[in-house]
Amino acid sequence: MSLIFNADEIFQIGVEIERNGKAFYQAAAKSAQTSETKKLFEELAKWESGHIIVFETLKNKLAESARENTAFDPDNEALLYLKAAADTHVFGRNANAEALAEECKTTRAALKMALGFEKDSVVVYANMRNLVPEKLGKPDIDKLLNEELQHISMLNDKINALK
C-alpha cells in the first residue's frame, strides 16, 4: 500500500536540509584553499538557496487539507520512515554545518563531505518523491533530485581532479 501523508512536514524536512547545506557550503567557501574550490562552494550555496525557495513555495501553496495526514497511518510509519532517512543525513546527525566545514582541513576533505551531503540528499528526496502526490509537488521533487545528482557529478569530478 502506498502511503501519502502530511506534505507540509515533508517540505519542512527539505527546507531544513537545504538550509544546513547552504550554511556548510558558505563556510566551506570561506575556508577554501583555492579560488576554484571557493567558486564551486559559492555556486553550490546558491543552488541550495534556490532549493530552499522551492520547498518554501511548495509549503506555502499547500491547501489546509494537505497539511493534515491524508492516509490511514495511525502509527505515522510513513512520516517516521522519511524522518529516519532525514536523520541519517549528514546534516541530520550534525546540525552545525559551519563546525563540520571547519573540520575539513583540506580541499579533498571538504569536497568529500559535500559529496556525502549530496548523496544523503538524494536518498531523502527519493523517499520524498515516493510519498508526495503529483498534485502536491512531485515534479518539483523530481527537479530537485536531478539537481542533487548534478551536484554529485560536479563534486566527483573535482575530487578526481585532485588525484
- Fill in the DSSP letter of residue 33: S
Residue 152 scores a pLDDT above 90: yes
Q: Are 116 and 160 in contact (CB under 8 A)?
A: no
In angstroms, rounded to a whole number, what is the distance separating the alpha carbons of residues 67 and 35? 44
Of 70 and 118, more confident: 118
Mean pLDDT score, 128-156: 85
Instruction: Domains for the chain: give ranges and CATH numbers.
Output: 7-161 (1.20.1260.10)
At residue 2 the predicted structure's pLDDT band, cuts being 50, 70 and 90, is very low
Q: Which of 23, 2, 21 is nearest to 13 (CA)?
A: 21
Q: Which of 7, 141, 3, 13 is nearest to 76 (CA)?
A: 3
At residue 4 the predicted structure's pLDDT band, cuts being 50, 70 and 90, is very low
Computed over every residue of the chain, the mean pLDDT equals 80
User: pLDDT tens across 29-48, in order?
Assistant: 998 888 988 998 999 899 99
Task: Kindly state the cell numbers that stand for 59.
Answer: 509549503
- Percent of the chain predicted with pLDDT > 70: 77
Q: Is the pTM of this model over 0.95?
A: no
Residue 101 scores a pLDDT above 60: yes
Mean pLDDT score, 58-71: 67
User: How high is the pLDDT of residue 149?
Assistant: 94
Q: Are 25 and 37 in contact (CB under 8 A)?
A: no
Of 84 and 35, more confident: 35
